[in-house]
Amino acid sequence: MNTEYNFNVKKKRPEEEYGKVSDYFRGDILNQYATSKNMMKIQEKITIRALELLDIKKKDALILDAGSGPGFAATYLKEIGYRIVALDIIPEFLYYYEIKELNPITADMCFPPFKPNTFDAIISISALQWIFRDLKDKMMYSMLKNLSISFYKILKPNGRVVIQFYPKNKEIMDNTGKIIVKHTDFSGNFIIDNPNRQKKRKIFLLLNKNRNF
Ligand SMILES: C[S@@+](CC[C@H](N)C(=O)[O-])C[C@H]1O[C@@H](n2cnc3c(N)ncnc32)[C@H](O)[C@@H]1O
């Protein structure tokens, strides 16, 4: 397998163009995202794969959906029997649908307001590129560090995290993993589906609170 994946992204991604996520997801763009049946299907498919990687044994596990948007992943997880907390930094997303049963909460996922040892698992779909995308940016580094420490703290022992995201290149991808592991006792690895088909490629970072897995 070729490990030097082609990251030749020609079009600027929204996070590069806008910087602040709330400057991008607002008005028509927010509405289009939240109401897109196609997007719902795509995000649900990613969630199914993420869940497969998490391999949760407990039927009624409590899962945090970090960067939940309008709740596509969270709704699916709830439907199949998990208990969910849907967290997003943009309140309009969380109140787009009637999702009270997803326990919606407006917060920054780098500072999740929960007690230690709360969640069996954390899932984050297509959000992390908004937090860390520039190796030289100290603020981004410190936000990612904070996210890592917080995720570690709020997970129960043996809890797992799966993060699907869109790093701009392999250097950013690798450094994301390194920074998370450096500041916590997580063990982790990347799982890359369709590594050599850029359009279909999906990158997952799987983290485990127990180093001996
Ligand atoms: C592309 S959307 C994905 C939404 C959802 N996970 C899905 O699969 O449909 C990215 C989401 O990440 C959220 N987000 C970005 N940075 C965040 C942060 N620091 N804290 C919480 N949510 C954040 C955005 O508000 C947005 O809802």
Other beta carbons within 10 angstroms of residue 179's beta carbon come to 19
For residue 90, the ligand 1 atom closest to its alpha carbon is 25
Mean pLDDT over each residue of the chain, to the nearest integer = 94
CB of 73 within 8 A of CB of 126?
no
Q: Which domains does the chain have, with CATH numbers?
A: 14-208 (3.40.50.150)
- Ligand 1: distance of its center to the CA of 212 in Å? 31
- Ligand 1: distance of its center to the CA of 121 in Å? 17
In this predicted model, what pLDDT tens digit does every residue of 23-66 receive, in sequence order? 999 999 999 999 999 999 999 999 999 999 999 999 899 999 99
Q: 51 CB less than 6 Å from ligand 1?
A: no
- Ligand 1: distance of its center to the CA of 2 in Å? 30
In this predicted model, what pLDDT tens digit does every residue of 109-140 receive, in sequence order? 999 999 999 999 999 999 999 999 999 999 99
Q: What does pTM read for this prediction?
A: 0.95
Distances (CA, A) of 21 to 55, 135, 192: 30, 18, 25
Q: 72 CB less than 6 Å from ligand 1?
A: yes
CB of 105 within 8 A of CB of 113?
yes
| Cα–Cα distance measured from residue 74 to residue 189, given in angstroms and rounded to the nearest whole number | 24
